[in-house]
Amino acid sequence: MSARRIFSRPARFAAIAPYVWMVLFFLVPFAFVAKISLSQTAIAQPPYTPVFSLAGGWSSLSDAFAALSPDNFRLLLSDDLYLSSYLRSVVVALTSTAILLLIGYPIAYGMARLPRRWQGIAMMLVIIPFWTSFLIRIYAWVNILQHDGLLNQILLALHLVSTPVVWLSTDSAMYVGIVYSYLPFMILPLFATLTKLEPALEEAAADLGASPREIFWLVTFPLSLPGVGAGSLLCFIPIVGEFVIPDLLAGSKSLMIGQTLWLEFFTNKDWPVASSIAVVLLVVLLLPLLLYDRLQRRQLEESR
């Protein structure tokens, strides 16, 4: 009895810790953002109305509640700028995730097949870029891709092109930056699932007459799908909200939603619209998460 009391307290705390974390660092800030998204801009400090204040008593609070309106969300729907930004973000994130998967999968597959003592080294090589600031690494790409940058110098020296190619401020440059930055997030979950795969399964498939290609598509790949899902989500979600990479590497013709949000917040000083963009973005990102969750749950149920 007493033993249970001793052990149950930390255990109970461990069980609620994630919820405490979630309330403190997600729900509370999100409530602020959601409230601002329902406010109107004002030339004031803070730059929106209404402001909830307990000093004015109950009547001023209820007035403030009455002043909240979903106007900003209507604006998001009516103005093409926002819709196209969302769309571009999703398209860029989907395309990047697909490219990341195409590049990351073979790398993770190769790593998983290295002798064990080489795997640690390979993993280090994947992680090492994180030791340098993200911003510096993106600026390095600016350097490489600019008009007289390294890439053009090499191309010119090899006589592959006769005049410098415009790389910077193109979508290609942005994709290079995104794929470069997010590759580890794709590789690591894939590597984790692929190393856990029992080698005997592939041998059993070979034994039963499967060619190497069939072994991959019928055994290895289906069994690595949890890693594919995890890696894709880990890349897709932050890429949708990506701001720095498109800002530094892509042109300014069309914006991703992160850039639009930044413009609203810092240039237009329109906190309410910026907040409503953020709220919608969250809802958009929740969709793939819920989908993934449902898929996993179904898989679990199937195997029960």
Partner 1 sequence: MADDIATPEPAAEPTPSPEPRPDPQPPILRIENVVKTFGSFRAVDGVSLDIRAGEFFALLGPSGCGKTTLLRMLAGFETPDEGRILLSGEDIAQVLPHERPVNMMFQNYALFPHLNVRDNIAFGLRRAGMPRAEITTRVAEMVALVRLEGLEKRKPDQLSGGQKQRVALARSLARRPQVLLLDEPMAALDKKLRESTQFELMELQRRLGMTFIIVTHDQEEAMTVASRIGVMKAGKLEQVAVPRRLYEEPASRWVAQFVGDINLFEGEVTAREPHRLRVSTASAGELVAAQPVAPIDESKVAVAIRPEKIRLALRRPAGDAAAINCVEGIISDTSYLGGKTVYKIRLDGGAAIHAAQANTARLDADGYGLNQRVVAWFTPDDCVVLER
Residues that bind partner 1 (CB under 8 A): 198, 200-201, 203-211, 214, 218-219, 222-223, 302-304
- Nearest one of 187, 277, 276 to 240, comparing CA atoms: 277
Q: For the CB of residue 193, give the shortest distance to partner 1 in the complex, in Å.
A: 12
Q: Which is nearer to partner 1, 107 or 219 (CB)?
A: 219
**DSSP-assigned letter for residue 137:** H
CB of 125 to partner 1, least distance (A): 27
| Beta-sheet strands, E only, within the chain | 40-41, 48-49
Smaller CB distance to partner 1: residue 80 or 302?
A: 302
Contacts of 146 (CB under 8 A, 6+ apart): 152, 167, 168
182, two tokens: 């997010």
| Closer CB to partner 1, 224 or 276, in the complex | 224
* Cβ 179 to partner 1 shortest distance, Å: 29
Residue 112 vs 256, nearer CB to partner 1: 112
DSSP three-state, residue 79: coil
In whole angstroms, the minimum distance from the beta carbon of 225 to partner 1 comes to 8
Distance between start and end Cα atoms, the chain: 34
List of residues 6+ apart from 84 with CB closer than 8 A: 254
**Residue 126 CB coordination number (10 Å):** 19
Structure tokens at 112: 């998983």
Which residue, 16 or 201, is less far from partner 1 as judged by CB?
Answer: 201
Q: Rank residues 37 and 224 by Cβ distance to partner 1 and give the closer one.
A: 224
Work out how close the CB of 204 gets to partner 1 at its nearest, in angstroms, rounded to a whole number. Answer: 4
Residues ≥6 apart with Cβ < 8 Å to 141: 173, 176, 177, 180, 248, 249
Nearest approach, Cβ of residue 189 and partner 1 (Å) = 18
d(CA 217, CA 234): 23
